[in-house]
Structure 1
Amino acid sequence: MAIASKIRGTLLGGALGDALGYVVEFDRVPVIRERFGAAGLQGFEQLSGPVDFSDDTQMTLYSADGLADVLAWARDGVGADEVACVWLAYLRWLQTQGVALPDSAPHPQPRWIDAQEILHHQRHPGNACLTGLSSGEMGTAARPVNPDSKGCGTVMRSAPFGLVPQLEPAAVLRLSADAASLTHGHPSARQSAAQFSLLIHELLLGATLDGAASALVRRLDEDPTIDPALRLRVSRAVELAGEGRRLSPEELCAELGEGWVAEEALAIALYAALATQTTGQDTEGATADGRAAAAPAERHFRSAVALAVNHDGDSDSTASLTGNILGVLYGEEALPGAWLRSVTGLDVVEHIADELARLVSE
């Protein structure tokens, strides 16, 4: 499968999961069931009109734009500091949220992405992202901003760091962890982002979902520096999926958490992707209303994202990560056409995905 399709699948798939999850992000399960029925929110077909994606996709696109800046410099024979370029991109995102840059921060030159009105919508951006960037300090692992924060604001924006096929695994881990350190200082926040990016990278290069998940568990087990909470949550997610257990929303949160912190969001997304694989293998000929059944990859995508949406926690982040995972696994062909028509601003996502794909292919 073409790398370009996988890159588009990653970014568009994440945006779809993000937009669907944002509808119920602050709802508890009883409220979700009251609004959408016993099965909860299963797709955009249950909504009355187009919806917007959240800060998760906004920051993911700015991660991609920071990388695109680095790659453009490299194409012209100029080496650029990757993390500094990502930091400048995040500072430009901060300005879209109506936050003035402090005098101590650089004031980066605007790029195409900054003029896109859809990215100026304020969709409950994470507090640690806002405070870390508005400090004017470029956070690092050695000099962290928000040293105790391990919110999922790192992992939810980190898929693009896995989308450069030329990078070695160690470079993916380093770049993603250093980019996470710009706003979050807790080891689990940095490590969750880094491991998620490497998972995306392996899927980009052709790994199976089971193989990439198993490799992730081995890395966590073999690295003594890994935060114990990250190791525990991810290992449990893979274990539960391997047992064939389809958890209820209540069981999901009891086992893996609510997704507000980085390792929980990663674990829920990984479980959702793994536990619904058999959905894509069903051989039904048509849906209950007579429509032709979707292709296996699309059925898997729909089922996994729905599982990641319906729980008490950070539904847009967990569903966004799930969309990233299955989008890179299958490419853009797995994305439901009706869903793509239900989210505003996807032309911006496509533009940035295509630019990144062009640059990594040069």
Structure 2
Amino acid sequence: MSNDPGAVPSPESRIHGCLLGGALGDSLGYAVEFDQIDEIRRRFGAAGLRDFSVLDGGTHFSDDTQMTLYTVDGIVEALEWANSGVGADANACVWLAYLRWLDTQGVPVPEAAPRPQPRWIDGQQVLRHRRAPGNACLSGLATGEMGTAARPVNPDSKGCGTVMRSAPFGLVPHIPADSVYKLSSDAASLTHGHPSARQSAGAFSLLIHALVQGSSLAGAAQAALARVLGDDDAAPELRERLEAAVRLAGEAGAASVLSPEDLVRELGEGWVAEEALAVGLYAVLATAPQANGGDADPADHFRAAIAVAINHSGDSDSTGSIAGNILGAYYGTACLPTDWLAALEAPEVIRGMAGQLVAVTSG
């Protein structure tokens, strides 16, 4: 994998960058997830939390990274079957992976549910810690029913637990954008049934897919927005938040990135799907070099975007994770700060899952 910031990232670099970048944003955000902005400033100064070095006790990644890696595992299993000439239901493979994640959280898998065979990921002890998992993710899987778009579990839930785990669908090459969107939104139905939860997940995966195909950040954002605006059944709140994120980012400059208070006022706190996607996307676009009148090192962009994504009164780990996924998919590993990687929990597990996805998609 090349770390030359001027090089076009390889597919391998984008996969590793997306998963590691998401974990970095998640980890830094998890340190302040339940804090109001006044408390964040009290703890870390007027600029908020901006670096791992100030976290004396270190930090951990949350359920966001756990579920993202289990999403990877479900996709990998489906592709392993496909590569061996056997068709497999991709959504069923993801569901089985999520049932194995549920077991890591100490929640019994219902007797009526299938008993998935253990895989490499299940033996990684670092993934067996309970890191504030979303209620809808737990309750939806604990039903033992495989939710579908036509018969979703938690039909009124639109928590961000769908978006924060959905980047891996966009990392699979050689499949059409519409298929990426459907795979992601179908997988969201396994735990969340609200249209905005499903469509936000689909839009996020579509954005990642566009970046992997070589799109610019602005172009990928427009592709995701166009998909939502072109859908007559799109949730109005998703349309509103995504349009606002793109518009406000276009107005940003070196001195005009939204304050944490204005960010929440305009885009929300990120606890629900469309807000989390909007905040993470805004953070990336508003801090992009072209928005600030010049060139910037990818790692500088990464640091700046994550700072915007996590320093607010809301779901800081999920918004940080989304921003990190986007930048890692765009720049590849070149954007990941070396000192941040040194502070990341269990990077070998994240790299291990990234390597599995590379292996099954590079044949």
What is the TM-score with the length of structure 2 in the denominator? 0.95
Say whether 1:26 aligns with 2:34. Answer: yes
Say if 1:280 and 1:296, in contact at 8 Å, map to a contact too: no
Residue in structure 2 matching 1:270, options 281, 291, 304: 281
Deviations 1:220-260 (A, max 9, x none): 22211110000000000000011124100000000000000
Say whether 1:7 aligns with 2:15. Answer: yes
Residue in structure 2 matching 1:259, options 243, 266, 270: 270
Say whether 1:317 aligns with 2:318. Answer: yes
Aligned pairs (5 A) from 1:191-270:
191-244=199-252, 245-270=256-281
Give the Cα separation in 1 of the matches to 2:173 and 2:238: 26
Post-superposition offset of 1:75: 1.1
One-letter amino acid matched to 2:99 = L
Deviations 1:294-342 (A, max 9, x none): x610000000011000000000000000000000000011100100011
Give the Cα separation in 2 of the matches to 1:230 and 1:88: 29
Residue in structure 2 matching 1:42, options 47, 50, 73: 50
Say if 2:280 and 2:322, in contact at 8 Å, map to a contact too: yes
Distance verdict in 2 for CA 1:19–1:280, change over 3 Å: farther
Say if 1:280 and 1:300, in contact at 8 Å, map to a contact too: no
Give the Cα separation in 2 of the matches to 1:357 and 1:235: 33
Give the Cα separation in 2 of the matches to 1:156 and 1:47: 23
Distance verdict in 2 for CA 1:331–1:281, change over 3 Å: farther
One-letter amino acid matched to 2:289 = T
Give the Cα separation in 1 of the matches to 2:129 and 2:84: 34
Say whether 1:52 aligns with 2:60. Answer: yes
Give the alignment's Cα RMSD to 1 decimal. Answer: 1.3
Aligned residues: 352
Say if 1:49 and 1:342, in contact at 8 Å, map to a contact too: no
Gaps of 5+ in 2: 1-8
Post-superposition offset of 1:282: 7.8
Aligned pairs (5 A) from 1:1-362:
1-244=9-252, 245-278=256-289, 296-362=297-363
Post-superposition offset of 1:283: 7.6
Give the Cα separation in 2 of the matches to 1:342 and 1:121: 18
Post-superposition offset of 1:344: 1.2
Post-superposition offset of 1:217: 2.0
Give the Cα separation in 2 of the matches to 1:80 and 1:112: 19
Tell me which stretches of 4 or more aligned residues in structure 1 moved more than 6 Å: 279-284
Say if 1:279 and 1:299, in contact at 8 Å, map to a contact too: no
Deviations 1:101-145 (A, max 9, x none): 111111100000001011001000000000000000000111111
Say if 2:29 and 2:320, in contact at 8 Å, map to a contact too: yes
Give the Cα separation in 2 of the matches to 1:251 and 1:353: 36
Give the Cα separation in 2 of the matches to 1:11 and 1:278: 22
Give the Cα separation in 2 of the matches to 1:26 and 1:243: 29
Give the Cα separation in 1 of the matches to 2:313 and 2:329: 27
One-letter amino acid matched to 1:344 = E
Give the Cα separation in 2 of the matches to 1:225 and 1:342: 43
Post-superposition offset of 1:49: 4.2
One-letter amino acid matched to 1:263 = E
Say if 1:280 and 1:297, in contact at 8 Å, map to a contact too: no
One-letter amino acid matched to 1:266 = L
Give the Cα separation in 1 of the matches to 2:131 and 2:106: 12
One-letter amino acid matched to 1:346 = P
Post-superposition offset of 1:280: 9.2
What is the TM-score with the length of structure 1 in the denominator? 0.95
Say if 1:256 and 1:267, in contact at 8 Å, map to a contact too: yes
Say if 1:73 and 1:80, in contact at 8 Å, map to a contact too: yes
In the alignment, what sits opposite 2:6? none
